Amino acid sequence: MRLITKLGLKPRTYAEQKALWGFIYVLPWLLGFFVFFLVPLLNSLRYSFSSIDAKGDGMTISFIGMKNYVEALTVNTSFNRTLTNSIVQMVVNVPLIVIFSLFLAVLLNQKFIGRALARSIFFLPVILASGVIANLDSSSLVQEITGQNGSDIMSGLGTFEIEQFMLQAGVSENIVNYLTSAVDRIYQIVSQSGVQILIFLAGIQTISPQLYEASKIEGATGYEAFWKITLPMVSPLIMVNVIYTIIDSFAGSEMTELIKDTGFRSFNFGLSSAMAWIYFLAITIVLLISTYFISKRVFYQD
């Protein structure tokens, strides 16, 4: 302490020390944030408004205004279709994935024999269904053919009967189609909901058991306990999961491929950046709309 005062520095309070160290701890991230995120982000915005000539000795950037955006939206043959495709696919998939993973998390939280095994199997898709492996899987011929031989016919039959049953029960045709298509795509949904199950499971485990005990004494059934306790308590996580699923589904969409191809195959960096920005704006709009609707219903305990 004497050394510090000798050097002419004021002795710091604990709070000041903490603030200083906090800045030091965050510093690596901050450097990276500027070099690898913020500057590239602004650059990409600049590129999207300009035409770029990349040559051996460097590149010339000239400002051309909104031309790239106009080209992406009106001239490019596949951009509009891919964009709407990925948005529609996401709107269809996100509710299914979130509801399904909540259901599974509740199921996996109950006590039964072989729970550890079941859990480790359900988290397996986190490992297997990401990146290049998922891409190759979808193009595998073996799976196509063996699938056609056996399981597809079975599942087709099953959903056909359920479909008839529900239609006769007076359920609207759209809902029936939605549900049966979900059953047919069950692998896709299961494989995309690994992280979401993990998040919900962690959330359910933080709910205090006293709540369930009290409700049980008051005579609530398990079904009621789910709607009145579990659901409100995990509702903040529903929002987290919706956001995560939206971002995740966009990250794996064909849009990414298209943008990369435009940039690195046809070397049209300006157009590619413009596409990427339209894409980012689309994601932001979807996120804002969904968080607006969900956040009204979210229940916070404190």
Partner 1 sequence: MILTRFLSVESWKRWLWSIVRLVLITGLSFVIVYPIIQKISTAIKDKTDIYSPIVVFIPEHFSLDNFKKAIEFMDYWPTLINTFTLSAVTTILTAASCALAGYGFARLKFKGSKILFGGVVLTILVPPTTILIPIYMNLKDFTLMGLLPLLSGKSVNLLNSYWPFILTSITANSLKAGLYIFIFRQFFRGIPKEVEEAAYIDGAGVGKTFSRIMLPNAIPSIVTVLLFSFVWQWNDSFFTTTYLTTSKVMSIQLSSLPYNLAIMLEGGAATNKDPFYMSIVQDTGVLLAILPLVIIYLFVQRYFVESIERTGIVG
> Where in 10-69 is the site for partner 1 (CB under 8 A)?
14, 17-26, 28-41, 43-44, 47, 59
Among 62, 139, 168, 301, binds partner 1 (CB under 8 A): 139
Query: Which of these segments, 78-86, 144-152, 161-169, 224-232, binds partner 1 (CB under 8 A)?
Result: 144-152
Report CA Rg, the chain. 26
Query: Which of these segments, 76-84, 208-216, 224-232, 283-291, binds partner 1 (CB under 8 A)?
Result: 283-291
Q: Are residues 274 and 69 in contact, defined by beta-carbon separation less than 8 angstroms?
A: yes
Closest of 4, 6, 35, 33 to residue 20, by C-alpha: 4
Residues 175-204 that bind partner 1 (CB under 8 A): 186-187, 190-191, 198-199, 201-203
Query: Which of these segments, 80-88, 117-125, 168-176, 209-217, binds partner 1 (CB under 8 A)?
Result: 117-125
The first and second tokens of residue 25, run together, are 């701890």
The phi, psi pair for 208, rounded to 5°, reads -75, 135
Among 110, 168, 210, 301, binds partner 1 (CB under 8 A): 110
Please count the other Cβ atoms lying within 10 Å of the Cβ belonging to residue 129. Answer: 18
Q: What span, in angstroms and rounded, lies between the C-alpha atoms of 134 and 254?
A: 13
Question: Least distance from C-beta 173 to partner 1, angstroms?
Answer: 26
Query: Which of these segments, 173-181, 212-220, 259-267, 289-297, binds partner 1 (CB under 8 A)?
Result: 259-267
Q: What span, in angstroms and rounded, lies between the C-alpha atoms of 67 and 239?
A: 37
Query: Residue 102, interface with partner 1 (CB under 8 A)?
Result: no
| Cα-based distances in Å from 106 to 14, 22, 266, 287 | 44, 38, 49, 26
Query: Which of these segments, 75-83, 84-92, 142-150, 160-168, binds partner 1 (CB under 8 A)?
Result: 142-150
Q: What span, in angstroms and rounded, lies between the C-alpha atoms of 302 and 288?
A: 24
Question: Least distance from C-beta 136 to partner 1, angstroms?
Answer: 5
Query: Residue 127, interface with partner 1 (CB under 8 A)?
Result: yes
Query: Residue 79, interface with partner 1 (CB under 8 A)?
Result: no
Question: Least distance from C-beta 43 to partner 1, angstroms?
Answer: 4
| Cβ neighbours of residue 208 closer than 8 Å, sequence gap 6 or more | none
Q: What span, in angstroms and rounded, lies between the C-alpha atoms of 286 and 278?
A: 12
